[in-house]
Chains A and B, each alone.
Chain A
Amino acid sequence: DAKTTQPNSMESNEEEPVHLPCNHSTISGTDYIHWYRQLPSQGPEYVIHGLTSNVNNRMASLAIAEDRKSSTLILHRATLRDAAVYYCIIQGAQKLVFGQGTRLTINP
């Protein structure tokens, strides 16, 4: 499984955009990039996923570098409920293997 590198923590202010980076330099051509987030004492929640093109949904946007070795999860207008640990996962071998993730703190 391709390894991911994310900052341990990030901080942002409420109602501002947040850009969460992820490096995955060993990604294979057919591997999908997934993002999940986890609130305290809960199971992870799906955020978004993509292969090559940028993706948008109601929760976030996913910007994928042209060489696919990095990606950025964009929360357009952070709220306090977006405070969570965000995991960038490269799906391989039909399973999701979690890295350490980024703990996002949102300041009111």
Chain B
Amino acid sequence: GAVVSQHPSWVICKSGTSVKIECRSLDFQATTMFWYRQFPKQSLMLMATSNEGSKATYEQGVEKDKFLINHASLTLSTLTVTSAHPEDSSFYICSATKEHLNTEAFFGQGTRLTVV
């Protein structure tokens, strides 16, 4: 099956700093990538949808200036958490689809962010 890789798997950063998380589709071109956030014992919450070469579409309530998403190529999307605070500590997960969503989506292994 297709592989989506996230990096880093975990990161600890100081409050006020920015953190970048990468999401790569290793063996296919991803027309669309999605970013999710998951708090302990909760479900995944969709943050934004990104298409290669265009601006991301953010879900209601997600601050686009705080969570910067760049989808510069068909195999790479990045999420930057700017001026991170402890409440941003969470499990961030990306997913990618090959063509459209009537086929399966492939998920990364997730990135655990801890802001201290």
B110 contact from A36, A43, A98, Cβ within 8 A: A43
Q: Which chain A positions have C-beta within 8 A of B110? A: 41-43
Whether A44 contacts B107 by the Cβ 8 Å rule is yes
Q: Mark B69-113, 1 if CB is under 8 A from A, else 0.
A: 000000000000000000000010101000011111111111010
Whether A46 contacts B105 by the Cβ 8 Å rule is yes
Q: Mark A37-78, 1 if CB is under 8 A from B, else 0.
A: 010011111100100000000000000000000000000000
Q: Report the count of interface residues on A (CB-CB < 8 A).
A: 21
- Smallest CB separation, B110 vs chain A (Å): 5
Known: A32-B102, A41-B112, A43-B109. A96 touches B34 (CB 8 A): yes
Whether A95 contacts B43 by the Cβ 8 Å rule is no
Q: How far is the CA of A67 from the CA of B83 in the complex (A)?
A: 49
Q: Which chain B positions have C-beta within 8 A of A94? A: 32, 49, 100-101
Within 8 A of B (CB), among A16-45: 32, 34, 36, 38, 41-45
Taking the complex as formed, is B44 at the interface, i.e. its CB lies under 8 A from any CB of chain A?
yes
Q: Which chain B positions have C-beta within 8 A of A101? A: 43
Q: How far is the CA of A38 from the CA of B43 in the complex (A)?
A: 10
- Smallest CB separation, B105 vs chain A (Å): 6
Q: How far is the CA of A91 from the CA of B95 in the complex (A)?
A: 14
B101 contact from A44, A95, A100, Cβ within 8 A: A95
Taking the complex as formed, is B68 at the interface, i.e. its CB lies under 8 A from any CB of chain A?
no
Q: How far is the CA of A44 from the CA of B34 in the complex (A)?
A: 13
Whether A100 contacts B102 by the Cβ 8 Å rule is no
Known: A94-B32, A96-B105. A87 touches B112 (CB 8 A): no
- Smallest CB separation, A68 vs chain B (Å): 15
Whether A100 contacts B105 by the Cβ 8 Å rule is no
Q: How far is the CA of A97 from the CA of B60 in the complex (A)?
A: 13
Q: How far is the CA of A38 from the CA of B107 in the complex (A)?
A: 10
Whether A43 contacts B46 by the Cβ 8 Å rule is no
List 6 A–B pairs whose Cβ atoms lie within 8 Å, in order of A's numbering.
Answer: A42-B110, A49-B104, A94-B49, A94-B100, A95-B49, A96-B46
